[in-house]
Structure 1
Amino acid sequence: MRGLGTGIGWRPEIADAVEAMPGIDWVEVVAENVCPGHLPASLLRLRERGVTVIPHGVSLGLGGADRPDEGRLTALAERAEALGAPLVTEHIAFVRAGGALTASPALEAGHLLPVPRTRDALDVLCENVRIAQEALPVPLALENIAALFSWPGEELTEGQFLSELVERTGVRLLIDVANLHTNHVNRGEDPAEELAALPLEALAYVHVAGGVERDGVWHDSHAHPVPRPVLDILTGLAARVAPPGVLLERDENFPEPAELEGELTAIRRAVAAGRARAADGRARAADSRARAADGRARAADGASAGVPAGADTAGTEAEGTGVPAGAVAGARERLGVAQAAVLSSLVAGTPVPEGFDRVRMGVQARTLAAKRADVVAKVAPELPVILGPDYRETFLEYARRRPMTGGYRRDALDFAGQLLDRGRPSTPDTRRALREWWLDRAGPAPRKQRLTARLLHRRGTAQNVRSSA
C-alpha cells in the first residue's frame, strides 16, 4: 500500500470544512456510521478527487471471548469494498460480554474496554483476528486503545503482547499516540519504552487526538486540542520509523476550520522533527562507524598478527505458534467469565472483581454511562428536545438500573418505553410527545410507513376479492 500522508477523521459536522482543507491526502470514517448503498455525497466527492477513504470499525470486539459476529464482519467488508479502501481498521478491545458462552446475561459496554495481557486473551485474539482476516477483502490493522483501568495478574507487557500478535497473525498496527499518553497518565506506562518495544515494522498508520485531565485521570475525549505531550510522542515515533500516514481525530466540540488546519500543521511539524532526528542519528551512526573502521585499519597496520574475526550467528526459525482448538475453547471460557464479571460491575452494579482498582472502575462506570447518554442523544436527537433539561439526569437514572444489551438505537427505544411504562414524564403534553416518538419508531418501519403499507395491503386484498368474485 502506498503512503497515506496526512489525514483527518471525516465527520458529518465538518464535512464541508474537510473538503475545503488544503493538503488532506486521506480521511477515515467510522464504519458503522455509513451505509454502503447510500454513501454521503461529501465522501463520494472526496473519492472522485483521489482522496483515500478508510473505514474504521468500533463494534467488532475482536478482543472479546466470543468469535467475531459474521454479520458485523460482512458489514465491515461491504464498507471496505464500497469505499475502495486499501485496508480496514478496528481495535484491540472488547465491547460486549456474557451470553451463551458464560450462561450469564449478554451485556454491551457501548465503548472500547481493555483486554488483559494474558496468554488466554492473546490466544483468543489471534484466532479472532484470523477469522476476521479471512472474511475481509483487504488487510486489517488493529489499534491500541486508551484505558482507565488495568487488569490484575497480567502476564505480558504491551510490547510483548502486540509483537506476538503481529508474529502469529501478520496483522498490521494502527498506533494511537494519544492513547499512549492516556495510558502514561492513567497506568504509569512510559511512552518511550512502549514505542521501543512495539513492532513498528507492522505500522499501518498513526492516530493523533486530544483529551482532558480531570482529577488525575486522562480522558481520551477527541473533543479537545491535541496537547504538546501527544505531539512529542508522535515525534518520538517518527524518529524510529517513517509513519505511512498520520490522522487527526476529532469527534465533538468541533472548532473553526482554521483551528483544525493549525492542528494538522502541528502534526506535520512533529513528524518532520522526528524524521530530522532520525536522519541526524543515522548521520552520527555513520560517522561513528567510519571512525571505528579507521581505527581498526590503523590498528591492523601496526599489528604483527591478524585479528580473528568473530563467528557469525544465525538465528533459528521459531517453531509454529498455533494453539490447539481445544485449548482456545478453554481460553474463551476463562476469558469470557473474567470479562463478563468486569463488564457487569461497570454497567450492572455487581461487585468489582478482586484485584481491580475500585476507584478507577468507578470512574470507568461513570464514563460509560455518560457516553451512553451522549450517544443516545445523537442517534435519537428528539429525546433531549422532548425531555428538555431533564434528559441527561433521567437517562443516567435509567442507565444505573438497565444495562445496555442491544446497541444504542435499541437503548433509546428501551429508555423511552420504560419512562412511558412508569407514567413518565409527569407533564401530559411531554408524555404524549414521547409516546408519539416511541410509537413512530418501535416497529420495523416508521409508523406512517406502516400505516401506508397496511392500507395498500387492504386495497390489494379487496381487489383480489373482487377479481375472484
Structure 2
Amino acid sequence: MERLGTGIGWRPEIADAVERMPGIDWVEAVAENVCPGHLPESLRRLRERGVTVVPHGVSLGLGGADRPDEGRLKDLAERAGALGSPLVTEHIAYVRAGGPPTASPRLEAGHLLPVPRTRDALAVLCENVRIAQDALPVPLAVENIAALISWPGEEMTEGQFLYELADRTGVRLLIDVANLHTNHVNRGEDPARALAELPLEAIAYVHVAGGFERDGVWHDSHAHPVPRAVLDVLTDLASRIAPPGVLLERDENFPEPAELERELNEIRAAVDKGGRAHVPGAAAPRPDAVEPAGTPARERVALAQTALLSALVAGTPVPEGFDRARLGVQARALAGKRADVVAKVAPELPVILGPGYRPAFLAYAQRTPMTSGYRRDALDFAGRLLDGEGALDVRARRELRAWWLERSGPAPRPRSRLARIRRTVSLR
C-alpha cells in the first residue's frame, strides 16, 4: 500500500490555506462534491505539485440491503480517474432504506447510519463490497463510522466485524480513531479492544477529527478541535503499526490556518509517540463462519434497516430493543444535519429566511421524510413554506417565490403540486 504521509481534508472554504500549508503530503475530497469535467483549480494545482488526492464517498450506502447503485459506482470511478487517485474510500454504513422489497416508501437518511454487526449484515456488506471492488479502477477502502445508537442482538464486536470483512473481501480499511472514541462514549466500546482485534495490515490510512460531548453523548461534529482522548487512540494505533497515512478532517467552523497547522503538528506528535512505543498486536479473534448473502439475508436486513430509519425520520414506532431516548437524539441529529446540508446546497434560503430558516426547516423535516437528494429537499421545503406551512412576511414570500420559480420552472399552482408531493412522501 502506498504511503500517503500527513494530509488534510480538502474543502472549498479552506482551499487556499491548504495550498499554502507546509508538510501536506495528500488531501482527501468529498467525492460527491467533485465534478470530473470541472475540477476545482485548487485541486488541479495540488495535483500538478504531486500532492495525492483521494475521493471520499458518502452516499454509496455499502451497508444497505440493496446492491450498490451502478450509477453511483460509475461516478466514483470517474472521480478516481480524473484525480489520478491511488484508491477511493467509502463508509460501512447505510444511508437509505425501504422501497418495493419492504412494501414501504423509499427513505433517505441524509447521513450515515450504523449497520448491525450480525452475520446477515456482514454477508450483505461483503457482497456489496465485492460488487464495488469489481466496478472501481483502483482499490477500495472502507471506514468505520461513529454512532449514537446500538443495534440490539449484535453478534460481533466492531473489531471482529471489520476483521471478517477484510478477510473475506480483501478490502482495505480506513480507520477513524475519532469514531472509535465516539463509540466508546456512546456505546461503551473499548477503542483498545477494537484496535487489538483489527487486521492491522489492512489499514490504508487513518482519519482524525474533533467533536463535542453534550449530556453524555459524543457528537462527531468535524467542527471542533481534536481532543486529547482522540489523539490518545491515535497513539495507541501507532504503537501497533505505522499508519500509511493520517488525515485531519474538518467540515465546518473552520479556524485560522495556524490553528489547523497546530492540530496537524499534534497529530504528527501523537503518531511519533506511538511509534516509539511500538508493540506488535496479537492475532485478532475470528467470529464464526458467515453464510453467503442470499435473498433471505437481504430481506431480513432490509426490513430491520427500514424499520429503524422510518422511526428516525418518519415518526413510526421505535423497533423493539432500541433505546428510545438515544433514538430521539439520533433523530434530532439527522434533522440538524439535513438542515445544515440544505443550507449549503441552497445558501440563498438562510439569507431569505434569516434567523427563521433553521426552526422552519426543522419543523418541515419533522413532518416530511427525505425521499430524494438535498436539492429536491430544498425545493420541497421552499414549496411548503409558499403553500402556507410557516409564517412569511411579504418580502420573504416574494423572494422565496422568485427563488423557487427560478429553480422549478413553469409549474402548476403550488397547492395542487404540493398535494402531489405530500401523497408521494406520506407514510400514513
Q: CA RMSD in A?
A: 1.5
Q: What is aligned with 2:48?
A: 48
Distance across 2 between alignment mates of 1:66 and 1:146: 22
Match of 1:391 among 357, 364, 368: 357
Distance 1:345 1:154 in 2: 19
Provide, for residues 196-216 of structure 1, a one-character-per-residue CA deviation record: whole Å limited to 9, x for no partner: 011111000000000000000
Structure 1 residues 424 and 194: CA distance shift in structure 2, 3 A: closer
Q: CA deviation at 1:426?
A: 3.3
Quick one: distance in 1 between partners of 2:252 and 2:9?
A: 11
Q: How does 1:307-456 map to 2 (within 5 A)?
A: 323-324=291-292, 328-422=294-388, 425-443=391-409
Count of equivalent residues: 404
- What is the aligned partner in structure 1 of residue 89 from structure 2? 89
Q: What is residue 106 of structure 1 aligned with on the other side? A: 106
Contact 1:120 1:328 (C-alpha < 8 Å) held by counterparts: no
The SS at the match of 1:101 is helix
The list of structure 1 runs, each at least 4 consecutive aligned residues, that deviate by more than 6 angstroms after superposition, is none
Deviations 1:388-418 (A, max 9, x none): 1111111111000000010111100010111
Q: After superposing the two structures, state which structure 1 stretch, 418-427 or 112-121, moved more.
A: 418-427
2:223 match: 223
Secondary structure of the 1:206 match is strand
2:79 counterpart residue number? 79
Take 2:291 and 2:258, find their aligned partners in 1: how far apart are those partners? Answer: 52
Q: Partner of 2:136 in structure 1?
A: 136
Gaps of 5+ in 1: 283-317, 445-469
Structure 1 counterpart of 2:257 = 257
Match of 1:153 in 2: 153
- Which secondary structure does the structure 1 equivalent of 2:247 belong to? strand
Name the CA distance, whole Å, in 2 between partners of 1:234 and 1:93. Answer: 22
Q: Which amino acid aligns with 1:67?
A: R
Counterpart code for 2:269: R
Secondary structure of the equivalent of 2:294? helix
Partner of 1:7: 7
Q: What do the CA deviations read for 1:13-56 (whole angstroms, capped 9, x no partner)?
A: 00000000000000000000010000000000000000000000
Q: Distance in 1 between matches of 2:308 and 2:225?
A: 32
The residue type equivalent to 2:111 in the other structure is H
Q: Is 1:115 matched with 2:81? A: no
Q: Report the secondary structure of 2:261's partner residue.
A: helix
Instruction: String of CA shifts for 1:108-166, please: whole Å, max 9, x gaps.
Output: 00000000000110010001001000100000000000000000001111121111111
Partner of 1:194: 194
CA contact (8 A) 2:119 2:290 kept: no
Cα distance per residue 1:159-207 (max 9 Å; x no partner): 2111111111000000000000000000001111111011111000000
Scaled by the length of structure 2, the TM-score of the pair is 0.92
How far is the alpha carbon of 1:443 from its aligned partner? 4.3
Residues 384 and 268 from structure 1, CA distance in 2 versus in 1: closer, same or farther, beyond 3 angstroms? same
Larger radius of gyration: 1
Secondary structure at the residue paired with 1:224?
coil
8 Å CA contact 2:183–2:189 kept in 1: the answer is yes
In 2, Cα distance between equivalents of 1:415 and 1:42: 33
2:14 alignment partner AA: I
2:269 alignment partner in structure 1 = 269
2:416 matched to which residue of 1?
Answer: none
Whole-Å separation in 2 of the counterparts to 1:60 and 1:141? 13
Q: Residues 60 and 69 of structure 2 are in contact (CA less than 8 Å); yes or no, is this contact kept in structure 1?
A: yes
Distance of 1:122 and 1:82 partners within structure 2: 32
1:166 is matched with which residue?
Answer: 166
Letter of the 2:348 partner, please give it: E
Once the 2 structures are TM-superposed, how far is the Cα of residue 422 of structure 1 from its aligned partner? Answer: 2.1
Structure 1 residues 388 and 160, CA gap change in structure 2 (3 angstroms): same
Which whole-Å deviations, capped at 9, do the CAs of 1:65-116 have from their partners, x for residues lacking one? 0010111111000000000000000000000000122110000000000000
Matching residue's letter, 2:268: R
- Between the aligned partners of 2:320 and 2:393, the Cα distance in structure 1 is 45
Would the aligned equivalents of 1:347 and 1:365 in 2 still touch at CA under 8 Å?
yes
The residue type equivalent to 1:2 in the other structure is: E
